[in-house]
Amino acid sequence: MNPMNPSFFDVPIENYIALSAVIFFLGAVGVIVRRNPLIMLMSIELMFNAANLALITFAKAWVNAAGHIFAFLVITVAAAEAAIGLAIVVIVFRRSANVDVDEIATLHG
Amino acid sequence: MMPHTVLGVDGTYPVLFLVWLLPLVGAIVLWAFGPQLRSLGGPIGAALVGTAFIAALFSWNDAAQIKGSVSGAHVSMFTWLPGFAFGLLFDRLALIWTLIITGVGFLIHVYSIGYMAGDRAFARFFAYMNFFVFAMLTLVLSDNFVGLLVGWGLVGLASYFLIGFWFERPTAVAAARKAFVINVVGDVGILFAILVIVSKIGSIGYGDTFAGVGHAFTSQELFIVCIALFIGCAAKSAQVPLHTWLPDAMEGPTPVSALIHAATMVTAGVYLIARCAPLWTASAEARELVGVIGALTAIGGAGLGIAQWDIKRILAYSTMSQIGYMIMAVGVGAFSAGVLHFLTHAFFKAELFLGAGIIIHNLANEQDVRRMGGLRKQMPFAFAAIGVGVLAICGIPGFSGYFSKDAVLYQTLQQGHPWLYAIGVLTAGITAYYMFRLLFVTFFGPYRGNVDPSDLGIRHPELAGTPGQAPKLEHEADEHEHHGSEHAAHAPAWIMSAPVAILIPFSIGVGWLAYGGETSPWQTFFAPLFPAAAPAASGAPIGELGSGLIVLLVVAVGIALAYLRYGTQAALKGSVERLRTETVRMPPVLANAYYFDAAIDALIVKPAAAAGRFFGQFLDPVVIDGGVREVVFSANWFGHLFRSFQTGLVRAYALYIVLGVACFVVYYAAIGTGK
């Protein structure tokens, strides 16, 4: 089975990687420019999934199961991260009745 | 480890520890309970020193014993490190010193009970005196150089305490500091000698060192050791050029001057050289140098004795001069003569000082001989004491100084030093002159205490001779006089005169020990310690009798000159006039003590002070502190810089992470993965 067989895998690998990079970039920009913590968490999810896409693409390309395994690991971590992140958002919201992350800047030097 | 050689017969000598430690007990007790003991402090201190003296007498046989080639008693105490064994050595040399320290020390303690009566720190004075006796015994009884150095330093400390005893007087404090600093110079010299000895011998004991003289040292190393030791001797024994502290040390109470700065401590240098006789015997260069320094000190001190008006300073310079004799004698190898002169000098100089103390005490602390005069009738006892002392120091036949000075001079000649002999003889003449000057000016003629000081040429009467009148601290203003003459009533008069009376027969008699030349009791006594040094090949050009006659002649000339100048009827009648002209016309070189103080000031003190200012005002605050401050500033600056990154904004941190990752990406994109 030739992984590079166009009949089997006719979208070139560069496209997958480019899509992954674009999604990752969108996620990173979202984290940096948005001030709503929920949006930021969603942007982080975007970055996770961009990474997953890259992992699976490479796993498919090299015929190596490690990429699939890592993708599942990332999904698990993302779930945990979402749980903790939402918990933090709820606590912060309770304390300051505010959902602007720039207002929560008391830990500055 | 090499075999350990000790001088002396090993054993346990419990009485020796009694001699050594009783004064320490006294010092501790008087220090701790002085305020409670009050006037009991003096008798306690004196009694302990007296007991130590009796114990030393009972140990006479231990010290004098001879077993084979060793003599004296030795006690091992403990070994600190291999080669560093500490113990006590009580041989004939140490015996002589111990007896003088405790015996004369006891008499001076008794005298002090009267002299210091009414002083508000009466017990503290005796604590210091007992401490001094203990320190001096440590110095003398030690069987190794380190123990000696410990004692050496402690006597310096005791001397510092006692010179500065009246610490309200700025001059006394300055004198104490000066004495201490100069003595530390000497301590460093001895420490250096110890380092050389330990590196060469591997031991600090006298026995090991002397056993190694022949093979362990080259002659150069031996010379260095001798010189380093002699620097210590010069500082402690007031030898040129380290003598300048001794005249100033007269700021202390007179008994202190008698005990420490005449009889015992200042002769420690003589002791050290006599103790290290094997080193000096083996080094001709060291003998030459030390002999010359001793002779220079002898004549230099005598020359300054002429120019002094303060009775204690006259005696101080004469002490310096007489120690010059001793150092010259032990320096050239005439050890037993030098030690004999120490013995006789201890008696007659203590007597002179105590006699002067009686005068000072009775004249309300007047020390200027120009304001005395005619005291022969008022104080016949002081006159007798000082008269005998003067005759003894001048070397009048029959008095002790005659024997010891003749022995010193004749043996110097015998060792082949005619020039040193000539200087010594000249010094004897000058000594006779200034001592008789002291006698005539103080005891003959009219009393001048009521003459206006300016008529006597005294320019600053408030500075010239009125010590002991320091401003009193307010809270004790009328409780205790500082130190006043009317307080003689506190103690019976005999308590001051009895010790002096005991010293008189000794200062006449001890010289007779040396009567009989080579077979005299003195020579026989020291024969085991100092094997008669072979006279120089040239030998003495004149016999002992001839030498004695020359000395006598020169002394007679000195006395005659003093008589013509101060003693004739005409001179006594016009004494006010003649003392004034003498004061005004005093040659500045003598009045300024040969400018030694000025020279030391210009050569050492001023450059040191300038260096201190350089280090204190520039190097330390600007360079070193400045450097440290720069480091602190830059750390602070970086701190501020990095602090500004810690915004507390989550998004900013996210940006940093992204930028960091971007850096990695750019880096790998630029150089590839290395494959």
Q: What is the pLDDT of residues B281-290, one digit of tens each?
A: 888 889 999 9
- Is B654's CB within 8 Å of A28's CB? yes
pLDDT at B373: 81
The answer to whether the beta carbons of residues B7 and B118 sit under 8 Å apart is no
Of B292-301, B582-591, B658-667, the one with minimum mean pLDDT is: B582-591
Name the residue facing A32 among B645, B647, B654 (closest C-beta): B654
d(C-alpha B49, C-alpha B64), whole Å: 22
In a domain, A87, yes or no: yes
Residue A104 touches partner B, C-beta closer than 8 Å: yes
Could you check whether the bond before residue B241 is cis, i.e. omega within 30 degrees of 0?
yes
In a domain, A43, yes or no: yes
Q: Where are the beta strands (DSSP E) in B1-128?
A: 9-10, 66-67, 70-71, 73-81, 84-90
Q: At B491, is the pLDDT very low, low, confident or very high (cuts 50, 70, 90)?
A: low
Instruction: State pLDDT tens for residues B91-137.
Output: 899 999 999 999 999 999 999 998 888 888 888 999 999 999 999 99
Task: List beta partners, residue B88.
Answer: B75, B142
Q: Count the neighbouring beta carbons within 10 Å of the beta carbon of residue B607.
A: 10
Instruction: State pLDDT tens for residues B397-432.
Output: 889 888 899 889 988 888 888 899 999 999 999 999
Q: Which residue of B has its CA nearest to A44?
A: B654
pLDDT at B675: 55
In a domain, A17, yes or no: yes
The answer to whether the beta carbons of residues B346 and B267 sit under 8 Å apart is yes
B234 has a pLDDT exceeding 70: yes
- Is A108's CB within 8 Å of B649's CB? yes
By the 10 Å C-beta count (0-12 exposed, 13-18 middle, 19+ buried), B159 is classed as: buried
A108 has a pLDDT exceeding 70: yes
pLDDT at B472: 36
Q: What is the ipTM of this complex?
A: 0.83
Q: Count of H helices and E strands in chain B?
A: 31, 5
Q: Is B10 left (phi over 0), alpha (psi -120 to 50) or beta?
A: beta
| Number of separate domains in chain A | 1
Q: At B19, is the pLDDT very low, low, confident or very high (cuts 50, 70, 90)?
A: very high
- Is A101's CB within 8 Å of B650's CB? yes
For the residues B157-180, what does the mean pLDDT come to? 92
Residue A31 touches partner B, C-beta closer than 8 Å: yes
B570 has a pLDDT exceeding 90: no
The HSE-up count of residue B537 (CA atoms within 13 Å, CB side) is: 0
Q: Count the neighbouring beta carbons within 10 Å of the beta carbon of residue B364.
A: 14
- Is A31's CB within 8 Å of B654's CB? yes
Name the residue facing B648 among A32, A35, A107 (closest C-beta): A107
Domain around A86: 13-103
For the residues B438-448, what does the mean pLDDT come to? 88
Q: Which residue of B has its CA nearest to A47?
A: B658
Mean pLDDT for all residues in chain B: 86
* Encoded amino acid at B253, one letter: P
B540 has a pLDDT exceeding 80: no
By the 10 Å C-beta count (0-12 exposed, 13-18 middle, 19+ buried), B617 is classed as: exposed
B262 has a pLDDT exceeding 90: no
Q: At B375, is the pLDDT very low, low, confident or very high (cuts 50, 70, 90)?
A: confident
d(C-alpha A9, C-alpha B395), whole Å: 132
CATH number at residue A27: 1.10.287.3510
Name the residue facing B658 among A32, A107, A108 (closest C-beta): A32
Which letter does DSSP use for residue B306 in this model? T
Name the residue facing B648 among A31, A33, A108 (closest C-beta): A108
Of B443-457, B469-483, B587-601, B636-650, the one with minimum mean pLDDT is: B469-483
pLDDT at B21: 93
For helices B92-115 and B41-58, give the axis angle rounded to 10 degrees: 160
In a domain, A97, yes or no: yes
A40 has a pLDDT exceeding 80: yes
Name the residue facing B649 among A28, A33, A105 (closest C-beta): A105
What b-and-e string marks burial along B52-85, b requiring 16 or more CB atoms within 10 Å of the CB? bbebbeebeebbbbeeeebbbbbbeeeeeeebeb
The answer to whether the beta carbons of residues B370 and B457 sit under 8 Å apart is yes
Q: What percent of chain A is helix, strand and coil (3-state, nearest 5)?
A: 75, 0, 25
Chain A neighbors of B650, CB-CB under 8 A: 40, 101, 104
Distance from CA of B643 to the nearest CA of A (A): 5
Residue A92 touches partner B, C-beta closer than 8 Å: no
